[in-house]
Structure 1
Amino acid sequence: MLDAIPDLRSLAVLVAVADEGSFGAAARRLDTSQQAVSERVRRAEAACRLTLFHRTPTGAYPTPAGADIILQARRVLESARELAEVTEAQRDPDHAIAHVAASQTVLDHYIPRWLAAAGSGHPGLRFRVDGGNSRAVAEAVARGETTLGFIESLSVPASAAGELTVAVVTVDELVLAVPAGHPWAGGEVDRETVRATPLIVRETGSGSREVAETRLGPLVPPRAELAEQAALPAAVRALGSPGIVPAAALSGAADLRAVRVDGVAMTRPIRAVWRRGGRPRGAVALLLDAARTVR
């Protein structure tokens, strides 16, 4: 029976091709050659005695049988990763590595405190924390590429929701920020004025952008669209334009002011996500506990 099961590397290639939609894109994601990807797929199909992908001039997509195999491949890879983590933790319990991912606001303003709390009393714990917007983090967890994710969107991205367990750990607030000399500084503006003003915002797919557009309504094209959360306050200063920033980013920023928007509160939950059917263990569980308790 085991002869009909592709090896773990081949399973990872199958998942990458399915996610990326072509052998070439999968090769780039895996930092290998397209020929190597093709050979791995060929071997997997030979082991399964099934055609797993339809090959077309524009890419590759799973056959019905391939879709079933790839679904199980994701679960096998997740189990293999958990096995590796447990093995490492048993071999060297004081130096376990927790691999997590976090959206930009969480990474900039929450993760440092959570890491400190999780490591308190466990000085040997090590953490690898990757960043990205909420959609990218959720999808990475759903694919089994990381153990635990923290996202700031109002909902879990539909592309990953079916694969994830979700728990709210805290609540974050966004504010409309302007330079201290701006006409809006220290005052209040109405929603329609804000919506009609080109703002400095995060990119589409980020939790911050989703919250702004949900709470305020449709916005005019932005003055600037930034992929890095930390760059937002600097852009507000440099461009002199209003921007949507985390309230935490204004702490100690004497040259920026929060502006009240009449009738609008831009709060959002910070959620932890992990693969459905699993549970956080070891260092990852300590980090999740810290997220739930440290403010």
Structure 2
Amino acid sequence: MMPTVDLRQLRYFVAIAECGSFSKAAQRLHIAQPALSQHVRNMEIDLGVELLFRSPQGVRPTEAGETLLRHARVMLGQMEVAREAVRGQHTEPEGEVRFGLPGTISQMLCVPLITEARRRYPKVKLRVAEAMSGFVLDWLREGKIDLGVLYRTVTDKGLEARRVLCEDLCLLGPVAPMGHPHPPDGPLPFAAVAGLTLILPSPGHGLRDLIEERAAAEAVRLTTVIDLDTYGQIKLLVEGGLGYAILPAAAVQGELEAGRLKTWPLGTPVLTRDLHVVRPSDRPLSNAVRAIEELAHTTLIGLVRDGVWRATLVDDGDARR
């Protein structure tokens, strides 16, 4: 007999995997926890495999569970698109949209985006997850999120990137020198970072890769590096005098205005990075996802034009890469 797994069970399974807990998933789904556990047991019996690894710390998918999770997200997304097609394409956007943002972007975009989304699309539930850009890219590849913002374009066939803006990066340091004099005021050549204690994201993340590529191009050796994958903590360590960092100017505006940090323009030409809104291209998108994607693009443009985000808008129009 062929295994039978229905869409409701798939929705329950995805919720458990995302919450990492039966109790949290039960609250999210508004059903009793014993009923939820029974659905999973029935799925495991029907499929003949263990789907979840249970421990005192919670639950996580097994290898078979990860495979099911990837397919379940695609199937549930396709079903939502099918419902919209039956109801008509011009219905009000409705449903859940999962959006992944790097920390430096989240602090600028998250509040205005959620505020405007609630005003325009009250039936859309926008869930924002914050992580370093490398994790956001992994989430997009695995189907864990519907949209993401990345600092660099993507080469994956299953993803499309829409370039929105370009922003300058700067060398960031404490107000008081750390044991030796600060670099001189004004623009610095990139070679000035050689020998400095740098606090940077871990290798493999977009910003770190960008910095290391520039260092390799100019034959600059990054000698002392502290790896830290939280932008807020990077700024605190710099403020405390433990080292220097390289971050976008917009991400440290508040600290600069408060006189807590010092910055220098870096590189000739100045070191910059692009920002892209990224979405899947290998599966249909719901009206809700399309609406939030367009709203994110519009909000980013508005932040730059209003002077809130110190960046340059790119002239890509609606082109996708």
With normalisation by structure 1, the TM-score equals 0.68
User: Is the Cα–Cα contact under 8 Å of residues 70 and 143 in structure 2 kept in the other structure?
Assistant: no
* Structure 1 residue 220 corresponds to structure 2 residue 223: yes
User: SS state of the match for residue 99, structure 2?
Assistant: strand
User: SS state of the match for residue 162, structure 1?
Assistant: coil
Number of residue pairs matched by the alignment: 264
Quick one: structure 1 residues 111 and 185, their matched pair in 2 at CA, closer, same or farther if it must change by over 3 Å?
A: farther
User: For 1:288 and 1:234, how far apart are their aligned partners in 2?
Assistant: 29
CA deviations on 1:226-275 (whole Å, 9 max, x unpaired) are: 22212332221102522112211332413322223342522111111222
- Residue 284 of structure 2 corresponds to which residue in structure 1? 278
Structure 2 residue corresponding to 1:167, chosen from 162, 165, 182: 162
User: For 2:17 and 2:124, how far apart are their aligned partners in 1?
Assistant: 33
Equivalent position amino acid for 1:215 in 2: R
- Residue 257 of structure 1 corresponds to which residue in structure 2? 262
CA deviations on 1:44-96 (whole Å, 9 max, x unpaired) are: 259xxxxxxxxxxxxx867xxx98x8875553143246568999xx9x95986
CA deviations on 1:178-204 (whole Å, 9 max, x unpaired) are: 223332252444433413322011233
Quick one: structure 1 residues 71 and 112, their matched pair in 2 at CA, closer, same or farther if it must change by over 3 Å?
A: closer
User: For 2:109 and 2:189, how far apart are their aligned partners in 1?
Assistant: 30
Residue 130 of structure 1 deviates from its aligned partner by 0.7
User: Is the Cα–Cα contact under 8 Å of residues 98 and 128 in structure 1 kept in the other structure?
Assistant: yes
User: Is the Cα–Cα contact under 8 Å of residues 14 and 41 in structure 1 kept in the other structure?
Assistant: no
User: For 1:202 and 1:166, how far apart are their aligned partners in 2?
Assistant: 23
Equivalent position amino acid for 1:198 in 2: T
- Residue 105 of structure 2 corresponds to which residue in structure 1? 106
| Aligned CA-pair RMSD | 4.4
User: For 1:164 and 1:208, how far apart are their aligned partners in 2?
Assistant: 20
User: Is the Cα–Cα contact under 8 Å of residues 103 and 132 in structure 2 kept in the other structure?
Assistant: yes
- Residue 143 of structure 1 corresponds to which residue in structure 2? 142
Structure 2 residue corresponding to 1:44, chosen from 43, 47, 51: 47
Residue 103 of structure 1 deviates from its aligned partner by 1.2
User: For 1:38 and 1:101, how far apart are their aligned partners in 2?
Assistant: 31
User: SS state of the match for residue 240, structure 2?
Assistant: helix
Structure 2 residue corresponding to 1:238, chosen from 229, 237, 240: 240
Give the 5 Å matches for 1:13-28.
none
- Residue 176 of structure 1 corresponds to which residue in structure 2? 171
Equivalent position amino acid for 2:234 in 1: L
With normalisation by structure 2, the TM-score equals 0.63
Residue 167 of structure 1 deviates from its aligned partner by 1.4
Quick one: structure 1 residues 95 and 72, their matched pair in 2 at CA, closer, same or farther if it must change by over 3 Å?
A: closer
Quick one: structure 1 residues 187 and 279, their matched pair in 2 at CA, closer, same or farther if it must change by over 3 Å?
A: same
Give the 5 Å matches for 1:195-210.
195-210=194-209
Quick one: structure 1 residues 172 and 42, their matched pair in 2 at CA, closer, same or farther if it must change by over 3 Å?
A: farther
Quick one: structure 1 residues 61 and 81, their matched pair in 2 at CA, closer, same or farther if it must change by over 3 Å?
A: same
User: For 1:9 and 1:208, how far apart are their aligned partners in 2?
Assistant: 40
- Residue 287 of structure 1 corresponds to which residue in structure 2? 295
Q: Which runs of no fewer than 5 residues in structure 1 stay unpaired?
A: 17-25, 47-59
Equivalent position amino acid for 2:169 in 1: L
Q: Which runs of no fewer than 5 residues in structure 2 stay unpaired?
A: 23-38, 50-61, 305-321
User: SS state of the match for residue 110, structure 1?
Assistant: helix
User: For 2:18 and 2:69, how far apart are their aligned partners in 1?
Assistant: 19
Equivalent position amino acid for 1:31 in 2: S
User: Is the Cα–Cα contact under 8 Å of residues 189 and 261 in structure 1 kept in the other structure?
Assistant: yes
User: For 1:81 and 1:280, how far apart are their aligned partners in 2?
Assistant: 6
User: For 1:112 and 1:273, how far apart are their aligned partners in 2?
Assistant: 19
CA deviations on 1:100-129 (whole Å, 9 max, x unpaired) are: 111112112233334445555556765321
Seq. identity, %: 21
* Structure 1 residue 266 corresponds to structure 2 residue 271: yes
